[in-house]
Amino acid sequence: MASASYDARRGELTTYFDRTAVEAWSRLTSDAPVSKVRATVRAGRDAMRGTLLSWLPADMTGLRLLDAGCGTGALSVEAAKRGAEVVAIDVSPTLIGLARERLPAIAGAGRIDFRVGDMLDPVLGRFDHVVAMDSLIHYRAADIARALARLAERTDNSVLFTVAPRTALLTVMHAAGKLFPRGDRSPAIVPVTERGLKRRIAAERALDGFAWAQSHRVNSGFYLSNAVALTRSASR
């Protein structure tokens, strides 16, 4: 069961992405001109998406992927082009609508099932891989670890996710609330330390079969995020 703090923050994110900043995120996730600040965020997101995709198999034919917090679906499309059966879920009906509108023709066996809802919903079924790109960065470390445990219970190979690293600059930036203009500023990003997150993950029994395989930080102007790969041991 998700915690009350997880549920409360998810509600805030739904309001933000579905009402407050629809236009800003629509432009950010497209090729439309954006400000210099948002251009650095766009470049950082592109780089992070490339990192996460590089940790997935080049041929995903027959594999099932959960894109947890898919936004407008860019990562889902790339995975489907590799042959994956993708379940792409997001809390925002508006972003899912944009994802469906932007969906290109995909040759081969790959397909995408876009859904609105909670990425932790067990009804979504089992997966070979899960990717949560920048969808956990608004949660406390304890809630992140619990969410990873819920996802891991239904994942056979890897859980790839990103967190906001606790650096002096990022802490000051978000304390000052200057990532975006006040009118469309997102709910606070919660920086976490690697040591603290590893401790939380180690305490989750559902993650006992997973190893912290690799991590990679992307720093692009106003975008700073750390990717982590948890992989299930072959002995399972």
Q: Could you read off the pLDDT of 189-206 as tens digits, one per residue?
A: 899 999 999 999 999 999
What average pLDDT does the structure give for the chain?
90
Give pLDDT, residue 206.
96
Give pLDDT, residue 183.
46
From residue 92, alpha-carbon distances to 10, 22, 135 in Å are 10, 10, 12
* Locus of tokens 């992927």: 65
Strands ordered across the beta sheet of 223-232: 111-116, 85-90, 64-68, 127-132, 155-163, 223-232, 210-220
Asked if residue 186 has pLDDT above 70, the reply is: no
**Predicted TM-score of the model (pTM):** 0.91
Give pLDDT, residue 24.
84
Asked if residue 100 has pLDDT above 60, the reply is: yes
DSSP state of 134: S
Asked if residue 160 has pLDDT above 70, the reply is: yes
Asked if residue 179 has pLDDT above 90, the reply is: no
Helices 74-81 and 36-54 sit at what angle, rounded to 10 degrees? 30
Distance of CA 231 to the CA centre of its chain: 17
Give pLDDT, residue 71.
94
What's the rounded Cα separation, in Å, for the pair 95 and 18? 7
Buried/exposed code over 81-115 (b: 16+ C-beta within 10 A; e: otherwise): ebbbbbbbbbbbebbbebbeeebeebeeebebebb
> Taking a C-beta distance cutoff of 8 angstroms, is the pair 112, 33 a contact?
no
Which tens digits make up the pLDDT trace of 133-143? 999 999 999 99
> Taking a C-beta distance cutoff of 8 angstroms, is the pair 198, 211 a contact?
no
Q: Taking Cα atoms as reference points, which of 24, 17, 43 lies closest to residue 222?
A: 43
Give pLDDT, residue 172.
59
From residue 106, alpha-carbon distances to 4, 30, 66, 110 in Å are 39, 19, 18, 7
